[in-house]
Amino acid sequence: MRRWKQGRRRLAAAVFGGVAVALAAAGVAGAGAGSARSGSNAAALAQAQKATAEYRQLAVAKADGYGLLKDAKGIACIAMDGMPQMGAMGIHYANGKLVGDGKVAVATPDVLVYEPQANGGRRLVALEYVVFQSAWAKSHSSPPSLFGQTFNFTPKGNRFGLPAYYSLHVWIWKHNPSGTFSMWNPNVSCKA
Ligand SMILES: [Cu+2]
């Protein structure tokens, strides 16, 4: 209990500190953004899978700086409550340093998404790439894209209490019948 609270505080500090850094270093903020442009989507997806295979063990992800992210109401497992047929995302573990760096890169997802398992375990199901709009807009005139997919835009006033951000979910660790890049996965549940 205490540990995730500290993790959250660290994340918040890192996220907002990161925004300030990105704003200050506007010229550098987007430098890594084009790194995924080369190669086909399949190659990029394979690269992302290879880079994150070790994070199927949550302990490894935590050791690498991914901390539990809850929404503003303290909910950890994010589901589409109003429309359950759309499914869920799962539990987000965010890397504050990556979220705040103003960049997106295939091999370093900003957030890892896990599905709670009946035995209490956590199964890695998706990667999520996140960048704050304010940081991104400093050096880009169009929204970010990876894997040939343009990111979704979430304005401020969102359930996480975060400033406006772009995000892209990539369901490479659990099949999503709604599509590899869909936000919600009908095969993912927070009920376990
Ligand atoms: Cu998500």
pLDDT at 192: 81
Name the pairing type of β-strands 122-132 and 165-170: antiparallel
**Contact status, residue 100 vs residue 88, Cβ threshold 8 Å:** no
Q: What is the pTM of this model?
A: 0.79
Closest CA to 127 of 63, 60, 180: 180
CA dist 174 and 116 (Å) reads 13
Q: Give residue 30 CA to ligand 1 midpoint distance, Å.
A: 22
Instruction: Tally the residues of the chain.
Output: 192
Q: What are 75-95's pLDDT values in tens digits?
A: 999 998 888 889 999 999 999
Query: Nearest to residue 158, comparing CAs of 102, 83, 75, 65?
Result: 75
Lowest mean pLDDT, pick from 23-37, 83-97, 101-115, 135-149 = 23-37
Assign 3-state DSSP to the chain and report helix, strand, coil percentages, each to 5: 35, 25, 40
Give the distance (Å) from ligand 1 centre to CA of residue 181: 11
Dump pLDDT digits (tens) for 143-179.
999 999 999 999 999 999 999 999 999 999 999 999 9
92 C-alpha vs ligand 1 centroid, how far in Å? 6
Cα of 169 vs centre of ligand 1, distance in Å, is: 6
Contact 139, 26 (CB under 8 A): yes
Distance of CA 170 from the midpoint of ligand 1 (Å): 10
- Whether residue 32 is predicted with pLDDT greater than 60 in this model: the reply is no
Would you kindly state where each structural domain of the chain is located, as residue ranges?
2-170
